[in-house]
Amino acid sequence: MKMSALVSRRGPNLAALLTLAATISGAATILQAQTGPKIPAELVPVRAALDKYHDPIVAVHDGYFSTLGCIDFPTGEKGNGMMSYKPGAMGVHFLNPALIGPKLDPMKPQVLLYEWVGDRLQLTGAEWFMPAQLSKTAPMIHGQALQGPMEGHEPVLPKELHHWDLHVWLWKDNPNGLFSSTNSAVKCAKGPYSFADKGPKMVMQ
Same domain assignment for residues 31 and 69? no
47 and 61 co-located in one domain: yes
The predicted-structure confidence for 182-197, as pLDDT tens digits, reads as follows 999 999 877 543 333 3
- For residues 28 and 45, membership in a common domain is answered with no
Q: What is the pLDDT of residues 86-117, one digit of tens each?
A: 999 999 999 999 999 999 999 999 999 999 99
The answer to whether residues 14 and 63 belong to one domain is no
The number of distinct structural domains making up the chain is: 2
- Does one domain contain both 9 and 104? no
63 and 129 share one domain: yes
Q: What is the pLDDT of residues 30-69, one digit of tens each?
A: 444 456 899 999 999 999 999 999 999 999 999 999 988 8
Q: What is the pLDDT of residue 78?
A: 62
Burial code (b: 16+ CB inside 10 Å, e: under 16) for 103-125 equals ebeeeebbbbbbbbeeeebbbbb
User: Does residue 103 share a domain with residue 13?
Assistant: no
pTM score of the predicted model: 0.76
Within 13 Å, how many C-alpha atoms sit on residue 12's CB side? 8
Which domain does 108 fall in, by range? 41-204
Q: Would you say 142 and 39 are in contact if contact means Cβ atoms under 8 Å apart?
A: no
